[in-house]
Amino acid sequence: MATPTSEMTDQSAPWDTKKNATPKHQLRRFMPWLGLVVLLGLIGWGLRPKPVIIETGRVTRGPLTVRVSEEGKTRVKNRYVVAAPVAGKMRRVSLKPGDEVTAGATLLTIIEPSPSPLLDPRARLQAEAAVSLREAARQQAAETLEAKRAAAVIALAERDRIRAVIRVGTISDSDRDRVEGDASIKSTEVRAAEFSLQVTDYEIAQSRAALVRPDAMGANNLVELKAPITGRVLKVMQESEIVVAAGMPILELGDPADLEIEAEILSRDAVAIRTGDSVEVEQWGGELPLKARVRRVEPAAFTKISALGVEEQRVMVLSDLVDLPAQAKPLGDRFRVEARVAIWHGEDVLSVPAGAIFREGNEWKTYRFRDGAAVLTQIEAGHSDGRQTEILSGIEAGDEVLLHPPDTVKDGSRVAKK
């Protein structure tokens, strides 16, 4: 019977742990566990919250001007509406908007007055009686004038005699004053009587004119309408040849070089505006803002419906342009602009961008940027122009703050700059 060898004696089951395992075998044994640890670490690192990307701004010191911004319009300061002085047939207006006119020289149009209507017998008798009444009134006024003149002569002679007596105590001061006053009164009554006589003469001429029926087509009866000012035509209301009534508007004239700015300001903002406040006119078509000054804040407000359908009380604020540059010469009537009226100014003001502050309840707060974290800070805000806000307390000059922080940012949140 054969004897078993040592190799057969040392054989064991594959699943039995080998007592003399090499380091290589041990490394293989721990590799799955090491991989699991690394995987868990990567998952944890991936789930770790990332810093919020933000923009920052600086707290600075400098001048700050608070302005009220509102849409406005340019308009010609002095406008003249030329109306028909008489009723009749108006000839065609050849002028167009923008044409230049000269005062007393440029012919605007010609009106052929309508012929006067025929008077019936009753109307004629009434007109003739009115003439007789005015003539009698004139005779009365003339007699009254003569009487006033005679009384004035006597009063002036009395005054001259009193003045000739120069010795003290001869005439009392009260008598002297009475005579002087009476002479003055009599002279005034003479002037009043002369004016009354002139009025009566005009009334007689007016009454006689009612009896006259002029020829409407006569050469001397045409009414030439000439420009009352030197400027330009702004608008032509009646261009075609038509029959016009007395007082009907025909043209509108003005000087486009003499412009002002009108802005409809909310009444709560208009309270702080004063005459002489500086105004910046923007969005007029040029790069640099135009300078203006408030000339008038109208005392009465009016109701206006906003684009959202809200009733608002607004006040008209008028401003005069100052040192209008050559680039702004093309500005005309009713051009749209944006008026920014200064209502407060400070030379050395601690300010922060307005987008960096927000309200929580009744308190103003901001986020300061400190070592990669957002620090919630309570502040006290003052005036604001919509771009910069005055800071009264809470932060200092040079502090870096978050601009328009998103809702994900909380106190202590990790943040990173763009």
CA distance 73 to 85: 32
Strands (E), 173-216: none
In this prediction, residue 1 carries a pLDDT of 43
Q: Over 37-96, what HEC string results?
A: HHHHHHHHHHHCCCCEEEEEEECEEEEEEEEEEEEEEEEECCEEEEECCCCEEECCCCCC
CA distance 124 to 114: 19
CA distance 138 to 129: 14
Residue 25 phi/psi, 5° resolution? Answer: -65, -35
In this prediction, residue 219 carries a pLDDT of 57
Protein fold of 79-113+219-254: OB fold (Dihydrolipoamide Acetyltransferase, E2P) (2.40.50)
In three-state secondary structure terms, 115 is coil
Contacts (Cβ under 8 Å, ≥6 apart) of 93: 108, 109, 236, 238, 239, 250, 251
- pLDDT tens string, the chain, 418 residues long: the values are 444 444 444 555 555 555 555 666 666 777 777 777 777 877 777 666 678 888 999 999 999 999 999 999 999 988 889 999 888 899 999 999 999 999 889 999 999 888 766 677 887 788 888 888 888 888 988 898 899 889 889 988 888 888 777 665 567 767 777 887 788 788 878 888 887 887 788 678 777 776 766 555 555 678 889 998 889 999 999 999 999 998 899 999 998 888 999 999 999 999 999 999 999 999 999 889 999 999 999 999 999 998 889 999 999 999 999 888 888 988 988 999 999 999 898 989 999 999 999 998 889 999 999 888 999 999 999 998 888 999 999 999 999 999 999 888 888 888 888 7
In this prediction, residue 268 carries a pLDDT of 92
Class (C level, CATH) for 50-78+256-418: mainly beta
In this prediction, residue 120 carries a pLDDT of 76
In this prediction, residue 192 carries a pLDDT of 81
CA distance 199 to 264: 47
DSSP letter, residue 289:
P
Q: How many CB atoms lie within 10 A of CB 26?
A: 10
In this prediction, residue 220 carries a pLDDT of 63
In this prediction, residue 92 carries a pLDDT of 94
Q: How many CB atoms lie within 10 A of CB 361?
A: 6
Distances 200 to 53, 100, 207 between C-alpha atoms, Å: 92, 43, 10
In this prediction, residue 129 carries a pLDDT of 87
